[in-house]
Amino acid sequence: MPLDLGSSASPRHARERRIPVAILGATGAVGQTFVRLLEGHPWFEVTELAASERSAGKPYAEAARWIEGTMPARLRDVEVVACEPSAVRAPIVFSALDSSVAGDVEPAFARDGRLVFSNAKNHRMAPDVPLLIPEVNWPHVALLERQQRERGWRGALVTNANCSVTVAVMALAPLHAAFGVERVFAATMQAVSGAGYPGVPSLDILGNAIPYISDEEPKIEQEMAKLLGRYADGVVREPALRATAHANRVAVEHGHTVCLSLGLATRATPAQVVDALRAWRGPEGVPGYLEACPSAPARPVLVTDAPDRPQPRRDVMAGEGMSVVVGLDVKLVVMGHNTIRGAAGGSILNAELCLLGAPPVPAGLMADVLGEHAMERVA
């Protein structure tokens, strides 16, 4: 059966005046993906581009070596600023910073009253920081109330999951909800774009596979459990999940593929697994809000019965890069776009849901952070 790659969800609602946003790490590969995805966004407008001291003060066209498509003309002459709260005015900040600097910079913006959406690993496992995939665990956003109270921040920090974890857990969540997932073995085949730019040297990766990605396997194993946990009373209670991962870099430009072998608490037939995956839209109460989000795919999980799918070349842009594609025969093969769904696009979707005030976003958070912009209704 041909695979329907789907499209973005529902009508894309516009605002009379878009919210100014800044991108930290705007010159790198993920930073550039943020720029591409936010150009023409109906709710957000990129007004500031921040990067390292080496790039600060230069026009964006000079500071960034553009690697995909065409740089938006209106941003070419925008002066890059330093990654400091005093240099950035936007109330919403998307961070594509490397983990070597994100640990200190992102909290500084949150303390200063900004809403920070981070792609870095540094704060994902902190007990008061939401690690979010909206279709999986949106209720975890309630941690922001605890975060603001305990840290005394005027703003807040929300994180994305690791790109391979995002792909895998979007397929695991429906099965965990229906049958309970007790054991996972995950073998990843990760695209070179996941290594940033300039990435892996050509003589290392062409005609080759590299069975090692630094620090990747612990992230996969730890983040899966937090994402599949249940939020209650200010705490995410993780399931008793035994996860093992093996990470591999392969000669693919975009699209991380994850081969999963699962142990379920309740036995399920292949037909029941397919039905659970195809029916999944997200936690109770969330799909209605997702339908209003410009970046949300109509179907977050697409299932194919083709024996040779999913394939990055054919399927990576499913749902405009925001869906994951699952092929299965008892075991699962999952594939998704690592820099869209697994990075910039995932952060943007988190921001859209926060802007809508999708419960349980803490009451008053968006008004405090956005000021006059929060008063504008999403039409």
User: Of residues 83, 123, 163, 293, which has the active-site annotation?
Assistant: 163
pLDDT tops 50 at residue 379: no
Q: What is the pLDDT, as a whole number, of residue 284?
A: 80
Give the architecture (CATH level 2) of 19-162+343-375: 3-Layer(aba) Sandwich (3.40)
Using pLDDT thresholds of 50, 70 and 90, give the confidence band for residue 285: confident
Span between the terminal Cα atoms of the chain, in Å: 38
pLDDT tops 90 at residue 16: no
| Cβ–Cβ under 8 Å, residues 258 and 166 | no
CA nearest to 326, candidates 265, 370, 375, 260: 260
256 is catalytic: yes
Task: Give the integer Cα–Cα distance in Å for 332 and 274.
Answer: 10
Q: CATH 3.40.50.720 residue ranges in the chain? A: 19-162+343-375
User: Of residues 176, 256, 337, 373, which has the active-site annotation?
Assistant: 256
Q: CATH 3.30.360.10 residue ranges in the chain? A: 163-337
Helices 163-179, 216-227: axis angle to 10 degrees equals 40
Task: Give the integer Cα–Cα distance in Å for 376 and 379.
Answer: 9
**CATH superfamily, with its number, for domain 163-337:** Dihydrodipicolinate Reductase; domain 2 (3.30.360.10)
Q: What angle do CA 92, 97, 100 make, to 5 degrees?
A: 140
Average per-residue pLDDT for the chain:
92
| Cβ–Cβ under 8 Å, residues 114 and 92 | yes
pTM of the model: 0.92
Task: Give the integer Cα–Cα distance in Å for 55 and 262.
Answer: 46
pLDDT tops 60 at residue 245: yes
Percent of the chain past pLDDT 90, that is, above it, reads 83
Name the residue with higher pLDDT: 356 or 81.
81
Number of CB atoms found within 10 A of residue 132's CB: 27
Q: What is the pLDDT, as a whole number, of residue 7?
A: 43
CA nearest to 228, candidates 147, 168, 299: 168
Tokens describing residue 378: 């999403």
Using pLDDT thresholds of 50, 70 and 90, give the confidence band for residue 5: very low
